[in-house]
Amino acid sequence: MTVRLAVLLSGGGRTLQNLLDRIADGRLDAEVAVVVSSNPTAFGLERARQAGVPTAVVRRRDFETAEVFSEAITAVIGRYEVDLVVLAGFTQKYLFPERYRGRVLNIHPALLPKYGGQGMYGHYVHEAVLAAGDSESGCTVHLADHEYDNGPILVQKRVPVLPGDTPETLAGRVFEAECEAYPEAIRMMAERLGVRA
């Protein structure tokens, strides 16, 4: 049985595209069953549509509380019988129900526990790494819980910080590592759940 994924995103969908490409060329035995975006103008929605993947928009501002917002997301993905929920640049907190505990993955563009937490995303992470003078960075895939960038680590990939790096050049190198790390973590979790990836 192929592992079924719900992908939650808020932006351009590069991580989604990486997964779709790997599925299409046979490097990842998975199916993206649904894409949910918190942003109605996210290009990730177009990437999903081009791949024939069902989409939904659930905006945080349409809900009074984070709990009700999260329940709306759960209602959408619950219709697709997914095995894993993949957070792919999802900028809102998803307070998933107990039945999804151990099935929600997040990727972070740093070597957690360093440079994690609320407000540490995208270029902010890479700026912090460079400002600290670190010699390496990387990415982390972990099982999510209800705290930002917290939960058991599944996969980490390291990349060097090179002389003259900018947040943009470092981000590019880290994203290349992310493209390997997320599929690896999905395969690992599929094996634990007894499905193929």
Residues carrying an active site annotation = 108
Amino acid in position 65: T
CB of 17 closer than 8 Å to CB of 47: yes
Q: How far is CA 47 from CA 23, 101, 187, in A?
A: 14, 28, 22
Would you tell me how many other CB atoms lie within 10 Å of the CB of residue 51? 16
DSSP 60: G
Which tokens belong to 48?
């999903």
Q: How far is CA 95 from the centre of its chain?
A: 15
Tokens at residue 52, please? 């024939």
Give the separation between CA 154 and CA 88, rounded to whole angstroms: 15
